[in-house]
Amino acid sequence: MIAHNNLSRRTLLTGGLATGFVLAFHLPLRAAVNEPVQPRDTTEGRFAPNAFIRIDETGRTVLMMPQVEMGQGTYTSISAVLAEELDADWSKVEVQHAPPNDKLYGNPTFGLQVTGNSNSIRAWWLPLRKAGATARAMLVQAAASQWGVEPASCTASKGEVAHAASGRKLAYGELALAAQGQTPPKDVAIKDPRDFVLIGQPLKRLDTPDKVNGKAVYGIDAILPGMKFATVAACPVFGGKVGKVDDSAAVKLPGVRKVVVLDDMVAVIGDHMWAAKKGLEALKIEWNEGPNAKITTKDIWDDLRKASQKDGAVAKSDGDIAKALASGDRFEAAYELPFLAHASMEPINATVHVKPDSCEIWTGTQIMTRVQSEAAKAAGLPVDKVIVNNHLLGGGFGRKLEPDMVIAAVKIAKQVDYPVKVVWTREEDIQHDVYRPVYRDQITASLVDGKVAGWKYKVAGSAVLARWLPPAFQKGIDIDAIDAAVDAPYDFANFHVEYVRAEPLSVPTGFWRGVGPNNNVFAVECAMDELARKAGKDPIEFRKSMLTKNPRMLAVLGQVAEKSGWGQPLPPRVGRGVCVQPSFASFIATVVEAEIDDIGEITLRRVTSVVDTGIAVNPDTVKAQIEGGLIFGLTAALYGEITIDKGRVQQSNFHDYRMMRINETPKIEVIVVKSGEPPGGIGEAGVNAGPPALRNAIYAATGVALRRLPIDRKLLAAGKKA
């Protein structure tokens, strides 16, 4: 289980880990009672073949997590991968955040220490298995040397090495120091999946006990001696600046300590959050709103629609698309998705203590090293003088791939000599987010003999990667924006995809759970239903006819048809809709069953998903992530939209940025296919499955082909008359 660590790091360093098997240095899960001191990164006197595992003389097995835990179950799954090849005793496994270090903990896909794109297991599957297997081999060698036998005659299991011929056993803790002088072996064999003991089992999550009993610590929970609290108000118009601030009333309030004026925001520091909040409300702020003060949602959509008429950069082109589109029955449609906020349950926050020669941060982030480097710039310090303590995240969804909240907190904390916890209110969080981009996807297709003969697809929208990771933006193509468009699962002989970069007026955009496949799975799967109707075919049979080269997708589609009762009679204004997707190297087929009443209100009756994600490291986590993702995506389809008026975000809290409620949540059945393929990504896939499947259910029930989200109830009410 996770360590219930109430000691300071200084105490732990001087007394708790004096000796032992160590493959990385300690960073605790919680802020300490006494001001923390980061231990030095040393391997002196310790066995250190890699950065992910350590075992002390008691057998305590600590696994350093290169990815962050934000509710997706990564800690448990990564631990299972490491512990499987290590042959660790699962009951003695503990997890700790890895410190910021791209060299040691950089995600193999991105080269950065980042958690996102549903690739934690995909990226680390082989590296962590090899790390565990190498450590196990070294422990076996240490035992064999002590016994004077061949390593091949020894076996490892549940944290100990055994020699069957002599009946001898040694626990890993007893072998830790003996292994310290060994050279790590090369090319250690990893297990055949048939020999897995932990991988594939429904393991209980390591983070659950502390979340249930209240001991789990999120970034917002960090408490330091002498700490004060702050909250902020940023210019309500994107790009605006602070004009004048009258703080005469605020500074007189009990508990208010200081008013800090930055370039584009104002913060009030108080003895507690209430004092800071009331002080902020008492300020009189005049904003220099700048050139974006007249922008509206209509302006943004007009601009995007105009841009989408341009030719785009060609991402992929096979066959003769012009000839294919000139033949057969032609189809044209455009699909649009709005801005969306992240609205994590834990609002953005950071606790910072800036000293003349150092800066220490306590937060929850998906990108630790970028937080460290950007904080160093804000503090005016070298990177090695900035310490980042990462905590559990109360939701990330891509919002915490941005360092802006930490940069602001550092600038505020620079103004005082004590630690400051800066917490954004829900309203500030929603109205100053980095939003899921608006997208417009245009499809032109032709039908010949009941199949798609030509498919031309154009994505128009923001290039998040061009800002976030410029080297990944090449030749005018944002590979995230076209994800699940260039690799659509169907057998289209004539296939053309292009991308038009169109940045929205003034509104900052970033990654949102589901990322690029959000818009593309929606557009592709909605169009496929319309094409099926145009061809006079059942939507599932229509798809099957073009999945002959994709056996994994074909298999899950067949299974979801059976499990969902596809084709069975339904009452009036009740429909089933299907979605298939190859997102994140997983293959998922989903059916939503929904009822639409006379005024266009929607009742979700049932959702069925069949998932082939390769080897399911923890099947329970796969099911939970699909369930959560479906609810997340269906919420967006039903309610999600950020709108702009006079340069301002109009939504502010959950009363006008709705979440699906428990009584609205349908029965969800997730079937995980047993597979021997390498693991795919799962944390975001369910998000993309729900909206098109729901839209297609509505289409089946009403005949109304919605092409924009969120769902317009007025169109559905009118559809009854039509």
| pLDDT (tens digit per residue) in 468-508 | 999 999 999 999 999 999 999 999 999 999 999 999 999 99
Q: How high is the pLDDT of residue 720?
A: 54
d(CA 116, CA 66) in angstroms, rounded, equals 12
Strands, DSSP E only, in 58-193?
61-65, 93-97, 154-157, 160-163, 168-171
d(CA 179, CA 71) in angstroms, rounded, equals 36
**pLDDT, tens only, 553-583:** 999 999 999 999 999 999 999 999 999 999 9
Amino acid identity at 604: L
- What mean pLDDT comes out for the span 510-520? 96
- Give the helix, strand, coil percentages of the chain, each rounded to 5: 35, 25, 40
The pLDDT of residue 45 is above 80? no
Is residue 602 within 8 A of residue 594, CB to CB? The reply is: yes
Q: Which of 174-188, 283-297, 445-459, 636-650 has the lowest mean pLDDT?
A: 174-188
Tell me the pLDDT of the chain averaged across its residues.
92
The pLDDT of residue 46 is above 60? no
- What mean pLDDT comes out for the span 10-17? 31
Tokens at 283, concatenated: 């300020």
**pLDDT, tens only, 343-353:** 999 999 999 99
Q: How far is CA 14 from CA 6, 95, 369, 642, in A?
A: 15, 20, 27, 51
The confidence band for 269, taking pLDDT boundaries of 50, 70 and 90, is very high
Dihedral angle over CA of 212, 213, 216, 220, nearest 10: 90
d(CA 634, CA 13) in angstroms, rounded, equals 47
The confidence band for 306, taking pLDDT boundaries of 50, 70 and 90, is very high
The SS3 call for residue 416 is coil
d(CA 719, CA 593) in angstroms, rounded, equals 18
Q: How many residues does the chain have?
A: 722
**pLDDT, tens only, 645-656:** 999 999 999 999
Is residue 60 within 8 A of residue 92, CB to CB? The reply is: yes
Q: How high is the pLDDT of residue 219?
A: 96
Strands, DSSP E only, in 274-408?
284-288, 313-318, 329-337, 349-355, 358-363, 386-390
d(CA 31, CA 551) in angstroms, rounded, equals 50
Element housing 578 (H / E): strand 574-581
The confidence band for 22, taking pLDDT boundaries of 50, 70 and 90, is very low
Q: How high is the pLDDT of residue 560?
A: 98
The confidence band for 57, taking pLDDT boundaries of 50, 70 and 90, is confident
Give me the helices (H) in 208-264, please.
208-213
Tokens at 384, concatenated: 């090695």
d(CA 373, CA 377) in angstroms, rounded, equals 7
Tell me how crowded residue 576 is: count the other CB atoms within 10 A of its CB: 25
Determine what percent of the chain is predicted with pLDDT higher than 90. Answer: 89
Q: Which residues pair with 334 in a beta bridge?
A: 442
